[in-house]
Structure 1
Amino acid sequence: MIIVSEECVRTVLTEEDGFAAVEAVFAAMAHGDAYNFPVIREAIGHADALYGFKSGFDRAGLALGLKSGGYWPGNAQKGIPNHQSTVFLFDPDTGRLSSIVGGNYLTAIRTAASSAVSIKHLARPASRTLGMVGAGHQSHFQVRAAVRQGNFERVVAWNRHPEMLDGLEKTVTGLGLTFERVEPEQLAARADVIITITSCHEPLLMKEWIRPGTHLACMGTDTKGKMEVDPDLVAACAVFTDEIAQSVSIGEAQHAVGKGLLSEAAITPIGDVINGTQAGRVSEDQITLFDGTGVGLQDLAVASAVARKAEEQGLAQQAGL
């Protein structure tokens, strides 16, 4: 068995690794070669924390395991990330524990990779302005991953706490892009691609604000009750997702489906677009939306790649059971 620490994950895991692993596992899911197990996510009644498990098996990549972790909202005041998680990988031939991998940096990379995959396959090639709704820790990963997939020239951004935009501006300008702070309605009117990455329970973007041809990647809604965009907007889009079951139960689509505005049958797995079995964007004016709920297979795929690299480079810690 090997242990790959958070520090080691940061050393060996690249954004390219994360993107390749996530794109491949989405394709495997659509082929029926990989599947997620039901998610467990609960409030523990202490520290306002949410804790749970995401697990699954990728038969194509031979990744079996689970991610254990959650969200501790008070961690920021302690100088540590609010999201805390660890990935456990098992040998699919024997069931023996094979790797323990730090999951915090890994989760940030795989979440950003997911939206980047959607931008590659759904956004208009002519997109030049990226809109960011949210400026927390994850937003920096989102911007860097998005920029790799397009020819963006500028970022327009909004955050409920404006002072947090200072850090995001440094990241954006460091990438050679211009940065502007705007209100949500202005952001929607100017952005070609919009990434939402908040923990809100109310719509921040309304249907009538979004212009034709926009691609939205809604990455913050991963729990029942959360919401980032107007359900009428979701219903007006061509909707794609990582996994339909999670999209309609804990993802951004939960509200539109619950109100009868959108049917489950109208949602397309992004893996089908990657595999070429379903169409992605069909016109320049179409509004597309990717509902990124975050599936366990993403974590397992990226953790497997990390474990292999760490062992090959002699950076993993060997441990007995």
Structure 2
Amino acid sequence: MLIVPEKEIANLMTRAAAFDAVKGVFASMSAKTAYNFPVIREAIGHADALYGFKSGFDKAALNLGLKSGGYWPGNAEKGLTNHQSTIFLFDADTGKCRAIVGGNLLTALRTAAAAAVSVDCLARQESEVLGIVGAGHQAAFQLRAVAEQRDFKRVVAWNRSPEKLDTLRSVAEELGLGFEAVSLDELGAQSDVIVTITSSFDPILQQGQIRAGTHVACMGTDTKGKQEIAAALSGDARLFTDEIAQSVTIGEFQHPVAEGLVDQDRINELGAVINGTTAGRASDEEITIFDGTGVGLQDLAVASAVVELAVGQGVAQDVEF
């Protein structure tokens, strides 16, 4: 069995490799050659933590396995990342565990890659202003990945605690982009692309704050009850997601569907756009929304790529098991 420790991931997985892996998984899901198993995600009643499993099987790539982990909100005070996870890969022919891979950085990279793929597929080509809602650990990953998809000139950002935007400002400046902390009204009025990456249980962006032609990537809602945008916004937009079943149960679109504002049939798989079986953006005036719920197959794809790289570079630990 191979082990790829968390400390090795940064030297192995690139944003480009994560983008390719996630895009390929979305395409395979839509082609029905890969599927996710039901998600388990529960509050454990200790340390305010959420813990669960995401798993699946990609028949084409023979990636079988699961990611185990969750969210520990007090970890930052201990010098740890709040999101903690480990990915387990199994041999599809025998069921034996073939690899254990550190999942913290990979989760951040694959989540950012999903938003980047949605921007690549759905945002207007001439998009110049990128809006970021949220300034947690994941926000900088989102900024770096999404900024590569269009010729952005400026970044505008909002966070409940504005002082936490300094990290995003530094990343924007590093990328050669102008940066401004703004109100939500200003963010919606200026942005061509908006990424929301929060843990909110109340809608942050409201109907009327988003201008025509905007692409919105909602990346923070992954639990029943979480919500980043007003349900009414979905009624005015073209809707896309990684997996429809997950989106309407624990993702952003759980709310408009539950409120009867959106029929589930209106939600499109982003993989279908990649495969050319569903149209993407239809006009420059259309609002598009991508609900990135985060599927287990994303984790398996990036973990499998890392294992291959780790073996090639001699940093994978091989142990008897």
- TM-score of Structure 1 vs Structure 2, range by shorter chain: over 0.9
Match of 1:3 in 2: 3
Distance 2:207 2:319 in 1: 53
Distance 1:48 1:235 in 2: 34
Match of 1:111 in 2: 111
Distance 2:299 2:83 in 1: 14
Partner letter of residue 186 of structure 1? Answer: E
**1:219-267 CA-partner distances (Å, limit 9, x unpaired):** 0000000000010002211000000001100100001000000011000
Instruction: Find the residue that maps to 1:201 and give its secondary structure.
Output: coil
Match of 1:15 in 2: 15
Shift of 1:7: 1.0
Note if 1:261 corresponds to 2:236: no
Distance 1:148 1:61 in 2: 27
Distance 1:198 1:151 in 2: 25
Partner letter of residue 41 of structure 1? Answer: R
**1:16-68 CA-partner distances (Å, limit 9, x unpaired):** 11000000000000000000000000000100000000000001111000000
Shift of 1:209: 1.1
Aligned pairs for 1:57-68 within 5 A: 57-68=57-68
Match of 2:296 in 1: 296
Match of 1:31 in 2: 31
Partner letter of residue 22 of structure 1? Answer: V
Instruction: Find the residue that maps to 2:235 and give its secondary structure.
Output: helix
Match of 2:284 in 1: 284
Aligned pairs for 1:215-254 within 5 A: 215-254=215-254
Partner letter of residue 192 of structure 2? Answer: D
Partner letter of residue 184 of structure 2? Answer: P
Partner letter of residue 107 of structure 1? Answer: T
Shift of 1:10: 1.2
Match of 1:126 in 2: 126
Partner letter of residue 28 of structure 2? Answer: A
Segment drifting more, 238-247 vs 201-210: 201-210
**1:56-85 CA-partner distances (Å, limit 9, x unpaired):** 000111100000000000001111110000
Instruction: Find the residue that maps to 2:228 and give its secondary structure.
Output: strand
Partner letter of residue 272 of structure 2? Answer: D
Distance 1:259 1:138 in 2: 29
Distance 1:64 1:9 in 2: 20
Match of 1:96 in 2: 96
**1:181-210 CA-partner distances (Å, limit 9, x unpaired):** 000111000000000000001111111111
Partner letter of residue 291 of structure 1? Answer: D
Distance 2:42 2:137 in 1: 23
Partner letter of residue 171 of structure 2? Answer: T
Distance 2:21 2:5 in 1: 19
Match of 2:81 in 1: 81
Distance 1:43 1:93 in 2: 34
Shift of 1:216: 0.1
Shift of 1:274: 0.2
Partner letter of residue 187 of structure 2? Answer: L
State how many pairs are aligned.
321
Instruction: Find the residue that maps to 2:202 and give its secondary structure.
Output: strand
Distance 1:118 1:61 in 2: 22
Match of 1:164 in 2: 164
Shift of 1:11: 1.1
Shift of 1:314: 0.5
User: What are the ranges of 5 or more consecutive residues in structure 1 without an aligned counterpart?
Assistant: none
Question: Which 4+ runs in 1 deviate beyond 2 A?
Answer: none
User: What are the ranges of 5 or more consecutive residues in structure 2 without an aligned counterpart?
Assistant: none
- TM-score (norm: length of structure 2): 0.99
Residue identity over aligned pairs, in percent, reads 61
Instruction: Find the residue that maps to 1:232 and give its secondary structure.
Output: helix
- TM-score (norm: length of structure 1): 0.99
Aligned pairs for 1:35-54 within 5 A: 35-54=35-54
Instruction: Find the residue that maps to 2:286 and give its secondary structure.
Output: coil
Shift of 1:129: 0.1
Distance 2:98 2:27 in 1: 25
Partner letter of residue 55 of structure 1? Answer: S
